[in-house]
Structure 1
Amino acid sequence: MVRLPLTPAEVERGQRLGALLRQARGERPMLETALAAHVSPETLRKIETGRIATPAFPTIAAIADVLGLSLDAVWAEISGPERAASDPDAAKRLAS
Protein backbone atom coordinates (compact mmCIF):
# COMPACT_ATOMS: atom_id res chain seq x y z
CA MET A 1 0.00 0.00 0.00
CA VAL A 2 1.36 3.36 -1.01
CA ARG A 3 0.83 6.25 1.34
CA LEU A 4 0.21 9.58 -0.33
CA PRO A 5 2.34 12.53 0.79
CA LEU A 6 0.76 14.76 3.39
CA THR A 7 -0.65 18.07 2.30
CA PRO A 8 0.83 21.24 3.78
CA ALA A 9 -2.42 21.67 5.75
CA GLU A 10 -2.06 18.18 7.27
CA VAL A 11 1.54 18.88 8.23
CA GLU A 12 0.57 22.20 9.81
CA ARG A 13 -2.32 20.60 11.70
CA GLY A 14 0.06 17.91 13.01
CA GLN A 15 2.45 20.60 14.22
CA ARG A 16 -0.39 22.42 16.00
CA LEU A 17 -1.52 19.16 17.61
CA GLY A 18 2.01 18.43 18.80
CA ALA A 19 2.43 21.90 20.25
CA LEU A 20 -0.94 21.68 22.00
CA LEU A 21 -0.13 18.31 23.58
CA ARG A 22 3.35 19.45 24.57
CA GLN A 23 1.92 22.57 26.23
CA ALA A 24 -0.80 20.56 28.00
CA ARG A 25 1.79 18.09 29.29
CA GLY A 26 3.72 20.96 30.88
CA GLU A 27 6.34 19.73 33.32
CA ARG A 28 4.95 16.19 33.45
CA PRO A 29 7.62 13.75 32.22
CA MET A 30 7.13 12.42 28.69
CA LEU A 31 7.75 8.85 29.87
CA GLU A 32 5.05 9.10 32.54
CA THR A 33 2.54 10.55 30.08
CA ALA A 34 3.31 7.99 27.38
CA LEU A 35 3.06 5.01 29.74
CA ALA A 36 -0.23 6.29 31.20
CA ALA A 37 -1.62 6.60 27.64
CA HIS A 38 -0.27 3.17 26.66
CA VAL A 39 1.87 4.56 23.83
CA SER A 40 5.61 4.46 23.48
CA PRO A 41 7.62 7.49 24.57
CA GLU A 42 9.02 7.59 21.03
CA THR A 43 5.52 7.84 19.57
CA LEU A 44 4.61 10.66 21.94
CA ARG A 45 7.86 12.47 21.12
CA LYS A 46 7.19 12.18 17.38
CA ILE A 47 3.63 13.45 17.79
CA GLU A 48 4.74 16.38 19.95
CA THR A 49 7.44 17.36 17.44
CA GLY A 50 5.08 17.04 14.47
CA ARG A 51 6.98 14.11 12.93
CA ILE A 52 3.77 12.07 13.05
CA ALA A 53 1.36 14.56 11.55
CA THR A 54 -1.63 12.24 11.34
CA PRO A 55 -1.58 9.95 14.39
CA ALA A 56 -4.27 7.33 14.85
CA PHE A 57 -7.43 8.49 16.59
CA PRO A 58 -7.13 6.00 19.50
CA THR A 59 -3.61 7.27 20.15
CA ILE A 60 -4.73 10.89 20.36
CA ALA A 61 -7.78 9.93 22.42
CA ALA A 62 -5.58 8.12 24.95
CA ILE A 63 -3.06 10.97 25.21
CA ALA A 64 -5.82 13.59 25.49
CA ASP A 65 -7.50 11.55 28.24
CA VAL A 66 -4.27 11.34 30.24
CA LEU A 67 -3.76 15.09 29.85
CA GLY A 68 -7.38 15.87 30.73
CA LEU A 69 -8.16 17.35 27.32
CA SER A 70 -11.53 17.18 25.59
CA LEU A 71 -11.32 15.70 22.09
CA ASP A 72 -13.87 18.22 20.83
CA ALA A 73 -11.77 21.06 22.15
CA VAL A 74 -8.55 19.55 20.76
CA TRP A 75 -10.13 19.29 17.32
CA ALA A 76 -11.44 22.85 17.50
CA GLU A 77 -7.99 24.15 18.44
CA ILE A 78 -6.01 22.26 15.80
CA SER A 79 -8.52 22.92 13.03
CA GLY A 80 -8.26 26.71 13.21
CA PRO A 81 -4.68 27.78 12.41
CA GLU A 82 -5.27 31.43 13.19
CA ARG A 83 -6.78 30.73 16.60
CA ALA A 84 -4.25 28.09 17.68
CA ALA A 85 -1.24 30.10 16.59
CA SER A 86 -2.44 33.28 18.23
CA ASP A 87 -3.52 31.73 21.55
CA PRO A 88 -0.68 30.34 23.66
CA ASP A 89 -3.07 29.57 26.56
CA ALA A 90 -5.28 27.22 24.54
CA ALA A 91 -4.16 24.07 26.35
CA LYS A 92 -4.93 25.61 29.74
CA ARG A 93 -8.51 26.33 28.65
CA LEU A 94 -8.93 22.87 27.18
CA ALA A 95 -8.06 21.20 30.47
CA SER A 96 -10.72 23.13 32.37
Structure 2
Amino acid sequence: MGPYKVSCAMWREGEKVIFDFEGTDPQSISSVNFLLNEEMFKMFLGAFFINLFDPQILFNDGFYDLVDVRIPRGSILKPIRPGGVEFADPSVGGEFLTS
Protein backbone atom coordinates (compact mmCIF):
# COMPACT_ATOMS: atom_id res chain seq x y z
CA MET A 1 0.00 0.00 0.00
CA GLY A 2 1.20 3.45 -0.93
CA PRO A 3 2.72 5.69 -1.84
CA TYR A 4 -0.10 6.93 -4.04
CA LYS A 5 0.26 9.29 -6.98
CA VAL A 6 -2.11 12.18 -7.66
CA SER A 7 -1.52 13.64 -11.09
CA CYS A 8 -3.00 16.93 -12.28
CA ALA A 9 -2.41 18.67 -15.58
CA MET A 10 -3.68 22.21 -16.09
CA TRP A 11 -4.08 24.05 -19.39
CA ARG A 12 -6.20 26.65 -21.09
CA GLU A 13 -8.69 26.06 -23.91
CA GLY A 14 -10.14 29.35 -25.09
CA GLU A 15 -11.67 31.00 -22.03
CA LYS A 16 -11.65 27.82 -19.92
CA VAL A 17 -9.01 26.38 -17.64
CA ILE A 18 -8.88 22.59 -17.56
CA PHE A 19 -7.77 20.57 -14.53
CA ASP A 20 -7.29 16.95 -15.60
CA PHE A 21 -6.46 14.32 -12.99
CA GLU A 22 -5.83 11.58 -15.59
CA GLY A 23 -2.87 9.48 -14.47
CA THR A 24 -3.90 9.52 -10.81
CA ASP A 25 -3.52 6.08 -9.22
CA PRO A 26 -6.45 3.65 -9.22
CA GLN A 27 -8.54 3.50 -6.08
CA SER A 28 -7.06 1.68 -3.11
CA ILE A 29 -8.56 -1.29 -1.31
CA SER A 30 -7.97 0.60 1.95
CA SER A 31 -9.69 3.81 3.05
CA VAL A 32 -7.11 6.29 1.74
CA ASN A 33 -9.41 7.15 -1.18
CA PHE A 34 -10.88 10.65 -1.21
CA LEU A 35 -14.10 11.50 -3.03
CA LEU A 36 -13.19 14.81 -4.71
CA ASN A 37 -16.33 16.54 -5.94
CA GLU A 38 -15.74 18.63 -9.07
CA GLU A 39 -17.97 21.48 -7.87
CA MET A 40 -16.27 21.64 -4.47
CA PHE A 41 -12.89 21.75 -6.22
CA LYS A 42 -14.12 24.70 -8.29
CA MET A 43 -15.37 26.48 -5.17
CA PHE A 44 -12.06 26.07 -3.31
CA LEU A 45 -10.11 27.04 -6.42
CA GLY A 46 -12.18 30.20 -6.86
CA ALA A 47 -11.74 31.21 -3.22
CA PHE A 48 -7.98 30.58 -3.48
CA PHE A 49 -7.62 32.67 -6.65
CA ILE A 50 -9.68 35.55 -5.26
CA ASN A 51 -7.60 35.65 -2.09
CA LEU A 52 -4.39 35.34 -4.10
CA PHE A 53 -5.07 38.01 -6.71
CA ASP A 54 -7.55 40.48 -5.18
CA PRO A 55 -9.27 39.84 -1.83
CA GLN A 56 -11.60 42.80 -2.49
CA ILE A 57 -13.39 40.92 -5.29
CA LEU A 58 -16.88 39.78 -4.34
CA PHE A 59 -17.15 36.01 -4.26
CA ASN A 60 -19.82 34.56 -6.58
CA ASP A 61 -20.31 31.58 -8.87
CA GLY A 62 -19.43 33.41 -12.09
CA PHE A 63 -16.19 31.49 -12.50
CA TYR A 64 -17.78 28.01 -12.44
CA ASP A 65 -18.37 27.96 -16.19
CA LEU A 66 -14.74 28.91 -16.81
CA VAL A 67 -13.30 25.84 -15.03
CA ASP A 68 -13.49 22.24 -16.25
CA VAL A 69 -12.45 19.53 -13.77
CA ARG A 70 -11.84 15.98 -15.02
CA ILE A 71 -11.44 13.24 -12.43
CA PRO A 72 -11.33 9.62 -13.64
CA ARG A 73 -13.84 7.24 -12.04
CA GLY A 74 -12.19 4.45 -10.11
CA SER A 75 -9.21 6.59 -9.09
CA ILE A 76 -8.19 7.42 -5.52
CA LEU A 77 -9.96 10.77 -6.05
CA LYS A 78 -13.23 9.27 -7.31
CA PRO A 79 -13.58 5.73 -5.97
CA ILE A 80 -16.46 3.47 -6.90
CA ARG A 81 -18.05 0.79 -4.73
CA PRO A 82 -16.73 -0.96 -2.72
CA GLY A 83 -13.82 1.48 -2.36
CA GLY A 84 -13.53 2.90 1.14
CA VAL A 85 -13.04 6.62 1.60
CA GLU A 86 -11.05 8.72 4.03
CA PHE A 87 -12.89 9.56 7.26
CA ALA A 88 -15.24 6.62 6.80
CA ASP A 89 -14.79 5.80 10.50
CA PRO A 90 -17.74 7.30 12.44
CA SER A 91 -15.48 8.04 15.41
CA VAL A 92 -13.53 10.53 13.28
CA GLY A 93 -16.73 12.39 12.40
CA GLY A 94 -17.60 12.50 16.09
CA GLU A 95 -14.32 14.21 16.82
CA PHE A 96 -15.17 16.94 14.34
CA LEU A 97 -18.65 17.39 15.79
CA THR A 98 -17.45 17.74 19.36
CA SER A 99 -14.33 19.85 18.89
TM norm structure 2? 0.24
Q: From the two aligned structures, give the one with the greater strand fraction.
A: 2
- Say which one has the larger Rg: 2
Q: From the two aligned structures, give the one with the greater helix fraction.
A: 1
TM norm structure 1? 0.24
